[in-house]
Structure 1
């Protein structure tokens, strides 16, 4: 891979690292905004809890919006409590949906270890089962919430559980148990001056005795609840007046029935269709008992009007709830899709980054291995070069030594030849001269042979197979002609050859001519040397 490719990969990896770092930096920069948002979520939750007592629709709407923000910020506390509030708002009408939200709330409550919320969830499950008339399951849930509230020593909530158990047993006509738990709730609320819940206790006991025909006991508790409600809980007053109106209708005290119904109507808001309907119904019945049919008819019409309004209102509420649920689910799905896209994008960046880093590491390793191999080859060649140089130096020393030996021998031969030639002039006997000439001939032969030996040793090192190939191709060549071919292979001149062989230059030229014929060379274009070089 070339340098340009390396640069590209490095730039790609750097870019991916920068993008990843930018995402992390962006998340870090959003920390302060998240803290502000978390504070806003907590404030919204407080507002939603407050509205649970007064306007469940408003409470539900706030909780749904808060839930979206909580999911967006991964705020487990907000998710747990928002789901609980929505479940509470739906508990008396949409049982199944309420339970679905409670399941999510319970999951996150356990995740954040919110014991108080876990206990609240159990209590709300008891309420839902009571609305669904599953009294056994309702009792189990209330008992479980009682145990949980006791473990965290939340007496106010324990009082609420006892009040709910009183309602549960009252609806089952288990009067003894109902009264026991009502009284337990009253004792705790009195001890902690929880007047709002105390007023509710008295209302429930008033209704308990009213439903059983114990008029005076019912009246006593309703007046007690009226007294407590006037301490700042005016929202309960219309309900108490309505109950007193019902009580007096049962007593057939129609004047008081009319009196308390009017007091209730004066306090009820125009959009409290259910309360208005019930008060007008009591007025209609009271006037009917008094044989004032015009008034009875008038209030019956008003009762019908508010009853229809209440029905329409409930439909509108359900419609708003459905729309709100739809919008919420759409936003939730959109959020999940956005999160999924972000996760895919981050995963893609991470995978690409890992692949790029892996490729870079792989390329580095490949290049490193190449460098190592190249280094090894260079080291090997360097060592071989050193060995060859050492071998060459050694051979040169040997060659010099051999040449010195040959020169020395030749010097001795030359001196001997000179001495013999001098003696030969003094010989008169033919036999002596003949013997002397033989000695001279042998000495000249040895002189030539020594020159050839020196040349042959060097020649065979350079061209080890030349003589073998020459003999195979031209087996009729003599030893002299083979030597001549060897000299010519080394591109030696006739003069150089004549010096080595200790013969005349003309003899070498004649030998070359004979050699051309034996080698089959004709014409002037091809030379012996070119033929021998191709061999």
Structure 2
């Protein structure tokens, strides 16, 4: 177990060394792409070419959609529709994209509205591929809302159209969708057949679709209890995901492998894969955050420059008006008074615009800080998860050493005197290792980094001085661990934990009906 632990920590350390450089490269690529797209939009606007403007908005929408900045993606898709009012295949494509965004956001009513508009236009145009994609998305909407009959109806219509078009990619996706519906209905044999069909169509197609289908084949075999087949499929999915550097699919495969080994009873292997999955998940979160923060930074800078340019233009207009007023005043006082009144009115309007632009700058700055705060919260959540995992590792280690100590103690009476003395010496060494407090010091240090004021606040509110063991118990309760897990960490019985909790309650200002753990979590 110690070797596995060291391996996982080493892998995480090496990954963190390369992650910073990768994030910088990702950020530069996102910056360059956004600047290129914005430049194309500005050029099209200067040329007043409505078709190029519409295409620029569409590409920007797809860019934000890829980064999951849904508000910006939706806004740019709407700009495209405002310019390209003709109901053609582009209209169908954009409405399907808006439906998919709202499906991901779980706004199923809005998603259905966009998709029904898309379906109506694609039917009027006799646009078969558009109809097939829309039916597939509608099927997914009904699946998420647990309307499985309607989901199967739309997916089967989509499947029929893709068959007539001989579209292997569409057939692969639709068969996978049907398998997913039957998986939700717990009809695993039917789901497996559809996943197999999906794989046959995707075998020579896009790698991301192929990997996802293989993962589904592994998962459906795991749920059916066929762990060896599940293991084969999932390992194949992991290998393909690693070859294509698809982190989301790598994470999914590692999670499924952990579940499979847990089902096989090999909890050590399950723990190892789960730890690998946690590392990949952290990498993916940091990569996505790097893309998101970089895009928002560039977006903020672009908006700031646009606002500054508008502000400068308005200022130039004000200067022009002033010069005009001076010339007019030289001609006639009456005319100067009239023009002065108009100037005052325009100046007030311009200043109002300037105030609005400044407010837009402040709002852009606030949006940037909101993104940074969200990224910081994700980092804290990761650290809390690491702390809990470390606590469970201590419990596992203590349990293992206790079992070894007990076994050696039982053997000492069955052998000769020399062996007996040696076994006694080994038992003493193990018990000495179990009593080592270094891990407690390290754990409390981790805890103090995440909850720096917890112990000080606890000492202030306590009615009587708390012992070191009571402080440890408070820390473990604050980590939201169960009495069983606490007993394993402290190497005591569950009854001893219950008595310790009872004594702790007497030293804290808590009512008899209130929950001790809830009180500490809210402290």
Q: Normalization by structure 2: what TM-score?
A: 0.51
Please give the alpha-carbon distance, in whole angstroms, between the structure 2 residues aligned to 1:291 and 1:109.
Answer: 59
Does 2:169 align with 1:193?
Answer: no
Alignment of 1:97-108 (within 5 A): 97-108=72-83
Deviation string, structure 1 residues 53-99 (Cα, Å, up to 9, x no partner)? xx999986764443333234333222223323333444483333222
**1:325 and 2:333 correspond:** no
C-alpha distance in 1, partners of 2:312/2:91?
31
- Cα deviation for residue 237 of structure 1 reads 1.3
Count of residues paired in the alignment: 299
Question: Which residue matches 1:121?
Answer: 94
Match of 2:225 among 247, 252, 258: 252
- 1:156-195 equivalence runs, <5 A: 156-195=129-168
Number of the residue aligned with 2:48: 74
Alpha-carbon distance in 1 for matches of 2:145, 2:279: 33
> Is it true that 1:307 corresponds to 2:276 in the alignment?
no
Q: Kindly indicate whether the alpha-carbon contact (under 8 Å) linking 1:284 and 1:297 is maintained by their aligned counterparts in 2.
A: yes
Q: Is 2:108 the partner of 1:135?
A: yes
Shift of 1:235: 3.4
Question: Which string of whole-angstrom CA distances, capped at 9 and with x for unpartnered residues, describes residues 397-429 of structure 1?
Answer: xxxxxxxxxxxxxxxxxxxxxxxxxxxxxxxxx
In our comparison, the structure showing a higher alpha carbon Rg is: 1
Instruction: Report Cα offsets for 1:454-474 as digits up to 9, x if no partner.
Output: xxxxxxxxxxxxxxxxxxxxx
Structure 1 residues 129 and 258: CA distance shift in structure 2, 3 A: same
Q: Does the CA-based 8 Å contact 2:89-2:130 persist in structure 1?
A: no
- Cα deviation for residue 263 of structure 1 reads 0.5
The equivalences for 1:460-475 within 5 A come to none
Match of 2:202 in 1: 229
Instruction: Provide closer, same or farther for how the CA distance between residues 198 and 65 of structure 1 changes in structure 2, counting only shifts above 3 A.
Output: farther
Among 274, 279, 282, the alignment partner of 2:248 is 274
Shift of 1:329: 2.6
1:250-285 CA distance string (max 9 Å, x none)? 012221222111101111146422211111111112
Query: 2:269 is matched with which residue?
Result: 295
Residue 69 to residue 233, structure 1, CA distance change in 2 (3 Å): same
Partners of 1:144 and 1:319 lie apart in 2 by 34
| Higher relative contact order, structure no. (Cα contacts within 8 Å, ≥ 6 residues apart) | 2
Match of 2:60 among 78, 86, 106: 86
| Structure 1 pair 153–336 and aligned structure 2 pair: CA distance change class (3 A) | farther
2:260 is the counterpart of 1:286: yes
Contact 1:57 1:89 (8 Å CA) reproduced: no
Q: Which residue of 2 aligns with 1:265?
A: 238
The offset of 1:160, in angstroms, is 0.6
Structure 2 residue aligned with 1:477: none
Q: Conserved in 1, the CA contact under 8 Å of 2:99 and 2:112?
A: yes
TM superposition shift of 1:328: 3.7
Answer yes or no: is the 8 Å Cα contact 1:59–1:85 preserved in 2: no
Determine the structure 2 residue equivalent to 1:212. 185
Judge conservation of contact 1:56–1:89 (CA < 8 Å) in 2: no
Alpha-carbon distance in structure 2 between the residues aligned to 1:68 and 1:138: 31
What's 1:146 paired with?
119
* d(CA) in 2 for partners of 1:202, 1:335: 52
CA distance in 1 between counterparts of 2:321 and 2:144 reads 58
1:128 and 1:79 map into 2 onto residues whose CA distance is 22
SS in 2 for 1:268: helix
- State the Cα distance separating 1:120 from its structure 2 match: 2.6
CA RMSD of aligned residues (A): 3.6
Once the two structures are superposed, what CA deviation does each residue of 1:306-354 show, in whole Å capped at 9, x if it has no partner?
Answer: 1111211221121122123224434555776798899999999xxxxxx
Gaps of 5+ in 2: 1-28, 323-523
Equivalent-residue separation in structure 2 for 1:58 and 1:300 (angstroms): 36
Q: Which residue of 2 aligns with 1:523?
A: none
Partner of 1:67, secondary structure, is helix
Contact 1:60/1:85 (8 A) holds in 2: no
Q: Which runs of 5+ in 1 are unaligned?
A: 1-54, 349-535
Distance 2:219 2:95 in 1: 34
State how far apart, in whole Å, the 2-side matches of 1:229 and 1:58 are. 33
The Cα offsets for residues 159-185 of structure 1, whole Å up to 9 and x where unpaired, read as: 111101110111111111111111111
Aligned mates of 2:313, 2:128 — CA distance in 1: 42
